[in-house]
């Protein structure tokens, strides 16, 4: 199965898009999966807020991993990888 189209991946991308849209003050549907979120106006402070929010929500993602690919797809991938690492190591980030 293609994981890029899995239901879980789609839901995670929708959650990322909603969170980013809220910070940018725009509609989620106006943010393409591959748009550079920094160029759309997402600043480093907002990225830090998102990483803190997601860590509290069980996704132990770090700031640098988000900035390595600042897109909805990249953020979703970073969250999924952080969650998988956390589950593999028994919750240690």
DSSP annotation string for 41-66: T--HHHHHHHHHHHHHTT----HHHH
Helix (H, G, I), strand (E, B) or coil at 88: helix
At 1 the pLDDT is 40
- Domain residue extents for the chain: 3-88
Helix (H, G, I), strand (E, B) or coil at 12: helix
At 22 the pLDDT is 96
DSSP 2: -
At 7 the pLDDT is 78
At 91 the pLDDT is 58
Check: CATH 1.10.1200.10 for 3-88?
Answer: yes
* Whether 67 contacts 50, CB under 8 Å: no
Q: Which residue has tokens 């830090």?
A: 48
Structure pTM? 0.85
At 4 the pLDDT is 46
Show pLDDT as tens, one digit a residue, over the chain (93 residues).
444 457 788 999 999 999 999 999 999 999 999 999 999 999 999 999 999 999 999 999 999 999 999 999 999 999 999 999 888 876 554
């Amino acid at each position: 199965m293609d994981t890029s189209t899995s239901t879980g991946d789609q839901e995670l991308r929708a959650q990322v898009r909603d969170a980013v849209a809220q910070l940018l003050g725009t509609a989620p549907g106006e943010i393409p999966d591959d748009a550079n979120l920094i160029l759309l106006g997402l600043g480093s402070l907002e990225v830090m807020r998102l990483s803190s929010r997601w860590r509290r929500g069980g996704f132990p993602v770090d700031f640098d991993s988000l900035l390595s690919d600042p897109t909805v797809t990249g953020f979703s991938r970073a969250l999924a990888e952080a969650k998988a690492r956390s589950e593999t190591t028994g919750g240690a980030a």
